[in-house]
Amino acid sequence: MQATTEQSGKKRKLAKIKNTNKFGYWFILPFFIVFAGFNLYPTLYTLYLAFVDISGFNFEGNFIGFQNFSYLVTNNLFLQASYNTMLLWVINFIPQIGLALLLAYWFTNYQLKLRAQGFFKSVFYFPNIITAASVAVIFFTLFDYPRGPVNMILMQTGVLEAPFDFFRSAFATRSIVAFIQFWMWYGQTSIVLTAGILSIDKSLYEAAVIDGATAWQTFRRITLPLLKPITLYVLITSLVGGLQMFDIPRLLTDGGPNNSVETLMTYIFRQAIEGGRNVSIAAAASVYLLILTIILSAIIFFLIRDKSEREA
């Protein structure tokens, strides 16, 4: 590239910079190569597998249309797994968002001026960082029958007369799984919501204080409505994560008792890796999981968005 001396320095620089634009492709190329190989192709391959009849150790399959999908909608274990996955998410998320909102309200309350907030946030977030596999085994041993720590505490304090076998009760096992999810995530949710509240324009609160509003009134009338976008974000990311729940139910009871905590992911894993190796059934179940995720996210998105538009 030879620039003549007549051109001004500025022009020359501009020309050079303009020419560098094609470098953008080189910078983003590695990302998209890895994406194509390890993400896009496996996704298309999963889609293909869902329409053929591969099981066992076969590598070739015949095209069978929607048979895998129609098999799944009549398969009791799959329906049970879909129901469980949604149920476990709902019963962990409702208390989770409730407590997180309460904590965020307290953390940002100008009248309370709570101290050691950094410490408490760290402590509430702490369970989130611990390996889910380890957490599952910890709760498995804590609720052990007959002489695990929880049974012993309940007997020593007289709540129970005889030890209770938690993992033989569907209700108890579901509650424990939901509690673990709640316990691992409420800290994260409360920190995100606190950050959301702190990003709201301060002058709104100042005006409310001048008007004599109580802390609760400002929270109810200013904070909550303005917090909707971030609540939407929390809801959808939690849903996407929750629908893929695997580690905890797998290591706690492997889906039992009576498949009460069998989730879509434990079902998919079981089909693909264990027993009959029904790869195509597992692939079709993955496609259902994707569709379910998209539908539920869309419902949440439109529910929250519409509501805020009506109120506006």
Partner 1 sequence: MMNANESKIKKQRILIYIFFGFLTLLSILPFWIVIVNATRTAEQIQQGLSLIPGTNFMENWRILRDGGFNIFQGYGNSFFIAFSSTALSMYFSCLTAYGLTVYDFKLKRPAYLLIMFMIMLPPQVNIIGFYRFMVNLGLLNSYIPLIVPAAASAPTVFFMKQYLQTIYHPALVDSARIDGASELKIFHSIVLPLMRPAIATMSIFGFVQSWNNFLMPLMLINDRSRFTLPMLVQLLTTDTYTTQYGSLYLGISMSIIPLILIYLFLSKHIIGGVTAGGVKM
Tell which positions 199-258 bind partner 1, by CB under 8 A: 230, 233-234, 236-237, 240-241, 243-244, 246-247, 250-251
Which position among 4, 27, 76, 212 is part of the footprint of partner 1 (CB under 8 A)? 27
Which position among 112, 207, 295, 299 is part of the footprint of partner 1 (CB under 8 A)? 112
Q: Shortest gap between Cβ of 310 and partner 1 (angstroms)?
A: 25
Q: Shortest gap between Cβ of 309 and partner 1 (angstroms)?
A: 22
Asked if 67 touches partner 1 (CB under 8 A), the answer is no
Alpha-carbon distance 68 to 282, whole Å? 9
Q: Which is nearer to partner 1, 6 or 311 (CB)?
A: 6
Residue whose tokens read 């076969």: 58
Query: What mask, x for binding partner 1 by CB under 8 A, covers residues 176 to 195?
Result: -------x---xx--xx-xx
Q: Which stretch binds partner 1 (CB under 8 A): 14-22, 66-74, 75-83, 202-210?
A: 14-22
Which position among 2, 76, 156, 203 is part of the footprint of partner 1 (CB under 8 A)? 156
CA proximity to 93, closest of 18, 4, 189, 1 = 189
**Both tokens assigned to 234:** 């929390």
Contact partners, residue 165, CB within 8 Å, separation at least 6? 145, 146
Q: Which is nearer to partner 1, 87 or 138 (CB)?
A: 138
Report 134-153 residues binding partner 1 (CB under 8 A).
Answer: 134, 137-142, 147, 149, 152-153
Q: Which is nearer to partner 1, 158 or 310 (CB)?
A: 158
**Both tokens assigned to 48:** 């293909």
Backbone φ, ψ for residue 19 (5° rounding): -70, -20
Burial readout 144-170 (b: 16 or more C-beta within 10 A, e: otherwise) = beeebebbeeebeeeeeeebbebbeee
Alpha-carbon distance 138 to 226, whole Å? 39
